Each structure stands twice: as structure tokens, then as C-alpha cells.
Structure 1
Amino acid sequence: ILLLEGDPAALDRLVSQGKLSVTGDRVNEEVTTSEMVAIEAVIGESSPLIGWTAQRLALYDRFNVNLLAVSRRGQRLDRRLAKVELRLGDVVVLQGNATTMPETLRGLGCLPLAERPILLGSVRKGIVPVVILALAMLTTAVGLLPVPVAFFAAAVGIVLFKVIPLRDVYQSLDGPILVMLAVLIPVSDSLRTTGATALVAAELARFGTILPAPGALTLILVAAMAVTPFLNNAATVLVMAPVASEFAADLGYRPEAFLMAVAIGAGCDFLTPIGHQCNTLVMGPGGYRFSDYPRLGLPLSFLVVIVAVPMLAIVWPMN
């Protein structure tokens, strides 16, 4: 029996490579690994655990849960968990069946705080996701499959090879984000098919004829940034690229700088959570609100414009 202390990632590797057991293999054979859950909880005032150790209480035999950790304010516990006498206010990590864990916590008089993933000794299948990712990238690079199909198939392969438990996949699905994306897709298509975005872009191009070359380039860049929240970045390029090319031709400029301005503007929406898929994906896990994006996104957008316009003019001369 070893008592180890160190970096979590290093402990994870050590437990896995050394084939050590964290819970003593005391897991009900009828319960699969994907059905096990570890909950951090605090021992309440009426808990039957107070004054008892896990060993004396026969915690696993009576309640079918494993005691994985104990934390006590102001004290450093260096003895075996089974021999730690539990007290009021102790924070414990208990592992058991996800279905019965809420009822078990109520019976033990513990208040749940958060679910804690236990990575120590996790199954190592690092080569499998790397191979799946490489195959997905290869099929898209040679043109065998479109990008959405290839990477959706890669996600399915990750689940089929049990790299990620199916239960974790379901927990990772963010319902509000999925609904928001589903609503935005027809809105984006309607703006594009009705010609609304093309009309706005044409009016901006008409106004740009009175501007100097840097101002015209800035206008196209800002216009692409303004359209991106209403369309995805690919649709923004499809709408704005022809406008930028014709706009440059009407003013007698070369189109390269204007087309690159469209590409930069379409990929630099920092003002909303819906203009780019990366903005949307971090909204749920980060707990962000819509108003959080412009607080940092507005100065960042100004910075992109200030840096991009002169650099574009230098790398791709307009005259």
C-alpha cells in the first residue's frame, strides 16, 4: 500500500504504468466503468459517518461505495483512508453507481458538491484517437469525403472504440448551444437567399468609392466583421468575396488585399457568441453571457483592424 503525492498528471501516468489500483478493485461486477461516478460531498450535521472510520463502518460492504479521498480544513491527513475517523465538515470523494449515488448520499447525510472525474489509472488508448484523427484529415485532404462527414465519422469512431464512454459523450452535449445553432442555420440561409446581405454589402461598396485606398480596405474588413455574426464564416466569404473583388476593380485596385481582408474579417468575429463556431463552443463551458463577448471583443476587433490594414497593404500592394 503506497501513499503518493505529486502532480495529478504524473500520478495518473504512474498509476497506469505501474498497474496500481486506486479503489482496491472493489467494484460491483454488474456495474460497468461508464456507470461509475465519483462525487465530492461534505459530511453534514446528521451524518452517520461522524465518529466512524470507513473500515469500522464497512462502507463498501454496507453502502457499495468507495471512499477515495478525505479533506479536512487545517489538517494534513497522512494515514490510510480506511483508518481516518470522519468528522463534521469533512469533504469526501465517494465513488459508486451513478444511479444509486443520490440516494446513497442522502442515507449517509452528505451534501453533494460536484462530480469529480477520477483519472488515476485511466485506460490508455492514446494511439487510437490519433489514428482516427489522421484518417479523417487524410480523407478530407485527398477529397474522398467532405469535412463535416469525415469528422463526424471520426467522432463516431471514437465512441465505437470506447476511447470516450458513451455516458461522457451525452454529458458533453450542450442543449442550449445545439438549439441556438439549429435556429441560426435557417436565419443565415434566409439572409443569404433573400439578398439582404448582398444589398448591405453593395451599399457599403458605394460608400467606399469616396474613401482613400486604406479607408476602402478598412471598409471591406469591417463589413466582413459585421456580416459574420449573421452568417457563418464560410457563408460570409461566399457573400463578401465577389463584392470585394468588384469593389476593388471599380476603384482600380488589385483584388488580393481586399479578398484577404474578407478572409480575416470573416474569421475575426469577437463580438458575439454566434459568429464563429469557436465562440459558440466555449459559451457553455465558460458560463459566458452574450454581453461578455463585446467587452473583450470590441478592443480586440480594433486591434485586428489597426494591425491588418497596413500589413495587407504592404504584403499585397493595391496599386
Structure 2
Amino acid sequence: MTYDQIFLFVLMGLVFAFLVWGRVRYDLVAFAALLIAVVAGVVPPDQAFAGFGQEAVVIIALVLIVSRALANAGAVELIARLVISSDRALSSHIGIMSIVGAALSAIINNVAALVMLMSLDIEAAKKGKRSVARSLMPLSFATILGGMITLIGTPPNIVVSQFRERTLGTPYSMFDYTPVGLTCALVGIAFVTLIGWRLLPAAGAAVAGHEQDKGLFVAEAVVGEESKSLGKTPDDLLPLAEEHDITLLGIVRNGRRLPGFSASTELRAADMLILEGDPKSIEAFIGAANLETLGTEDHVGLRGKSLTLIEAIVPDNARMVGRTALGLGLRNRRGVALLGVARQGRRFRQRVRKLPIQPGDVVLLLGPENRVNDAIDWLGVLPIAERSHSVIQRSKALFAIAVFAAAVAGSVMGLFSLAVALAMVVSIYALFNIIGPREVYESVEWPIIVLLASLIPLGLALETSGGTELIANGIVSLTGTLPTWAILTLLMMVTMTLSDFLNNVATALIAAPVGLSIAQTLEVSPDPFLMAVAVAASCAFLTPIGHKNNTIIMGPGGYRFGDYWRMGLPLEAIIIAVGVPSILFFWPL
């Protein structure tokens, strides 16, 4: 092996290790790796930032903006509410939600589709008096499956298409992915609807445990100088706590948590009671016990009419991740209090304001409505309930859909490129105030853009150095006399495994050149191998970290890390079993 190959293999190995570790943001890891490669001389300086000009980067950014605009116009809500009802049997509900989720994900960003449908699913679960854990994971998996249907449905499809254009001369068109993607999506949806949800713990013996843990927040309440709880002990407040379905976990005094539950300790002014319960119960208990919440002294407690209480999910790219409310200056800078945190039913001894927030946490934010909404945008968290009816411009829903459909049709007919078509859509949406200037920039997931733009030059360097050819030759030599379909299956399995632990964009960037090199070594058509990479890179079902949708549902669904493989493992096996024959049928060798 040459110096460049050895250096790039070591560097990419370190990148993968850091991405799996997850303690450092993936965009920072990728950008640092790019700079190291430039300094080491394996990436030419004039090519260091070429990735930011790639059409794939532009298309992904525009798709995210269009998704936000369609949500603003109520287009997603309009489609969803026409077909969703809480009166259906659970299996029928999951089937319809999955079909709607997959269909939406084929044309807009699947994260946006999930967030919109998730609130409706939670509402339906409450009306049906069942655990939302039974339906949230099937919905998440369905939105992931739906992304495989079209070019713009998921970033790996865009990445693979642009790679094909760069290496073979022509990209994949909007619906080239549809035959294979639709086949896999339909079979996958049938599985999660009829069988998959039954494999989840909440659907069997573990229902009670999940029901007990799900949706419980750990919160703090302050004992005021004139509180009627002064001089009382947690034991004295126990009947009131039981009446409001609250668990008293302890006392914080002078900034320190007292040992145990402090059941017999008399409460003093400025003491804080640690509470556990759902948001409504916490609010009711604080009012009944005449307590206050930190940061709301000027608003007459939680009962002040000017305050609003909002639950929000923390995605992996949120500003809150790895930081505390105190470190963010949430109260002093934004005028909003972090009232509580829910983390898959786990309890913690840290103060709520000093607790480092993790992806998948559900946070309970309290403050004046306008400040809470501003804080939500600034923090990058996703509110579970609808934030405001005025945000959605429902009268423009049909117009927004028509503009988007016309642009896609123009792209399919070859009148203009997909990037130009999407740019025209964004311009029209902005002109008609469907999306504001600030939202245009907020809609783009900049960490994904930086990750993609940073890894493109590294991928090119690996190709030009012969590194991907070396990997491909190694795979072919190891598989010996296996038939081509078996090698294709192996490529899908390896790519799918990587995607379960890495970002799917990173997985596609690395696996696509390897797939092409394998096809060239075997002297067969490269399209089946590129399609296999696109399908496999999108199918991250084993862990909550493989896909952002899986991270988002973790808190609201009360899922634990090990719950995902129960439905995800057989689903991945089914996708491989269906995907390989479908690929070979629609894209012959």
C-alpha cells in the first residue's frame, strides 16, 4: 500500500471511531479530518472546500427548506388529517399512519414528516387510551422506508446519484429509485403493520413497565418565603403528591442534593423539591402545594396566564446537546425556565438546570409564549404539540403542493435540473411568504451540510489513491467463487451495519465508491451495486443513533437502546431478502 492509502485508511478509521463514539459532533469530526488530510498532503489544497459546491449539497439543503415550507403551509397536516382517525384498531392505525408517513417521506424530508405525524399519533394514542410506544417506532421505520422511493426522499439517494454522475456521466432521475424503493417500502410497511409492533416490549409483558416510565419528567419546585409548605416534610406532602400522581424524590438545599429522599426533613425557604410526574401533574401539584418554579418569580408561579408549558424533543443536532440549561443561560438570556427533563424513565441525581442534555431527551420548557417559541427555535428542539395555529398558513396548502408538483414535473421532463427546480420552489415560497428569510436558513441542517461537504474530498482522495479499489479487490478475493448476487448481498449487509452506527450520508459516501469498484472488478453493471448501497444506507433500524427519526421517538415512546433491534433486526433481514431480488430484476447485471 502507498503512503496516501495507509494515511487515508487510518484517518477514515479514526473518523468512524469518533462517529460511533458520538461524544464529538459529526460535522466537527469530518471537518477536522478534512483539514488533517490537507495538511498531510493527501487532499490538494485547491480541492479542500470543493465539496461545498457539489450539487448534492445544494439539493439536500433545498429539500430541507421545501419540507419546512410545506409544513408551514399546512400541506402535510392537510394530507395527514384526511386519513388519520383515533377510532381505528391499532393494526389498522399503524398501517394507515405508515402509508401516509412513507408517502410524505418520499417527497419531503423524512424528519419533517415524522415530526408532523408524531403529534397526531400521540394524540390518537391518548384518545385510544393505549401506549404510544406501540405505534411510534413503526411510524419512524415507515418514514425511513418511504425515503427510499424517490431521489429527494433521503440524502443517501442524492449522494449516490451525484456519485454516479461524477463517475459514469449521468445521475439517477427522480423516479429511478422507485421500483426497488417502493417494493422494499411496501413489504416493510406490511411487516411493521402486521407483525413488527407485536415484537416491541410495550406490546407484550413489558407494557406496564413502559406505561409507568413513559412521559415522566424530573422537575424542581422552589419553596417560597410565604409558601404554605414551609416547615412541612416530604412525608407531610405525600398525600397531596399521591392525589396528583407525583413522586417526591428529594430536596436540594443550598445548591446540594440532600441524601436519600429526605422524607423527614422540614422544608425551608429557598429549598427545592425534586418531583417526578407528567407535565400536567407537576403543574397541578406545584400550584396545590403553593410552590414556585425557578425563573418564574415575576409571573405568579405556574398559574400566571402569561406562561406556557411546552414539551419538546431534543434531536442529535440541537444546540442543547451536551450542555446544561445553566451553561446555555436559558433563564437569563432567553427568559425561559427548564422545568423538567424526561429520559426514557431514568432518574438522575443532578440538578435539572445542571443536567447535560442528551439526544432523545424530552424537555419541559416554561415561560411567556413568545419567549418559549423563540427559545425552541434557538435551541433547535422539536415541540411535540402544535406551537401555534398562526404558524400554519392553511389557506396556502394547495398552492404550495401545486408549485412543488409542477417543479418536480419540470425536472422529470428535463426542462431544468432538480437543483434549479427546487431553487425555484423556494423562491416562490419566499415570495408568497410561505417561508420567511430567517426560516430559510434555520431549515437547513448545517451539520449535515458540513459533514457531506467535508467527506466528499476525503472520498475522492480515497478513490484517486486506489484505496476503494483495494477494498473492493479484498472483498472480491474473500468471497472467492461466490455468485454475484451473494457479493451484492454481502455489500448490502456491510453497508446496513455501518448505517446503524454512522450517519447515513457518511455511509453512502464511503460505500458507493466501494460498490462501483466491486462491479468493475467483476465486470458487471455498476447500477445494481449502487442501488444496493442506496437502499442499505437508508435502512438504519437497529439503534436509536443510526437515523435521526429513531433518536426523536426515543423519549416520547419511552424506548430503550435495546428495544430497536426487536423489530429492526427482522426488518433489515426482510429488506435484504426483498431488496436483492428486486435490484437484480429492475437493474440486471
Q: Please say if residues 272 and 293 of structure 1, whose CA atoms lie closer than 8 Å, have aligned partners that are also in contact.
A: yes
**Is 1:257–1:312's contact at 8 Å kept on the other side of the alignment?**
no
User: How much does 1:197 deviate?
Assistant: 1.8
- Write the distance in 2 (CA, Å) between the matches of 1:157 and 1:219: 49
Do the aligned partners of residues 170 and 283 (structure 1) sit closer, same or farther apart at CA in structure 2, a change above 3 Å counting?
A: same
Q: Report whether the alignment pairs 1:276 with 2:170.
A: no
Matched, 1:124 2:2: no
Indicate how the Cα distance of structure 1 residues 162 and 204 shifts in structure 2: closer, same or farther if over 3 A, else same: farther
Task: Specify whether residues 123 and 149 from structure 1 end up closer, same or farther in structure 2 by C-alpha distance, changes over 3 A only.
Answer: closer
Distance in 1 separating the partners of 2:33 and 2:77: 36
Relative to structure 1, the CA distance from residue 205 to residue 155 in structure 2 (aligned partners, 3 Å threshold; closer, same or farther) is farther
Structure 1 position 246 matched with structure 2 position 129? no
- Equivalent residues of 1:174, 1:284 under 8 A apart: no
Corresponding residue number in structure 1 for 2:243? none
Any idea what SS the aligned residue of 1:218 has?
A: helix
Aligned Cα root-mean-square deviation (Å): 2.9
Contact 1:133 1:154 in 2 (8 A): no
Unaligned runs of 5+ in 1: 1-12, 17-120
Q: How does 1:175-186 map to 2 (within 5 A)?
A: 175-186=54-65
Cα distance in 1 for residues equivalent to 2:5 and 2:190: 48
- TM-score with structure 2 setting the length: 0.30
Say which of 79, 83, 90 aligns to 1:204: 83
Q: How does 1:1-319 map to 2 (within 5 A)?
A: 13=1, 16=2, 122-125=4-7, 126-138=9-21, 141-142=22-23, 145-166=24-45, 175-206=54-85, 209=87, 211-268=88-145, 269-286=147-164, 287-316=171-200, 317=203
How far the C-alpha of 1:169 sits from its partner, in A, is: 5.6
* Structure number with larger C-alpha Rg: 1
Partners of 1:132 and 1:202 in 2: CA distance: 43
Instruction: Specify the code of the residue in structure 1 equivalent to 2:12.
Output: P
Scaled by the length of structure 1, the TM-score of the pair is 0.52
Structure 2 unaligned segments of length 5 or more: list them.
Answer: 165-170, 208-589
Runs of 4+ off more than 4 Å: 166-174
Higher helix share: 2
Question: 1:300 and 1:195 mapped to 2: Cα distance?
Answer: 29
Deviations 1:117-159 (A, max 9, x none): xxxx755213233234434554xx33xx544444344444443
- The answer on whether the counterparts of 2:106 and 2:153 sit within 8 Å (CA) in structure 1 is yes
| Distance change (3 Å), C-alpha of 1:149 and 1:173 | closer
Whether the 8 Å contact between 1:132 and 1:157 is mirrored in structure 2 is no
**CA 1:216/1:180 → structure 2, altered by over 3 Å: closer, same or farther?**
same
The structure whose RCO (Cα within 8 Å, separation 6+) is larger is: 2
Provide the C-alpha distance between the structure 2 equivalents of 1:202 and 1:155, rounded to a whole number of angstroms: 45
Partner AA of 2:122 in structure 1: S
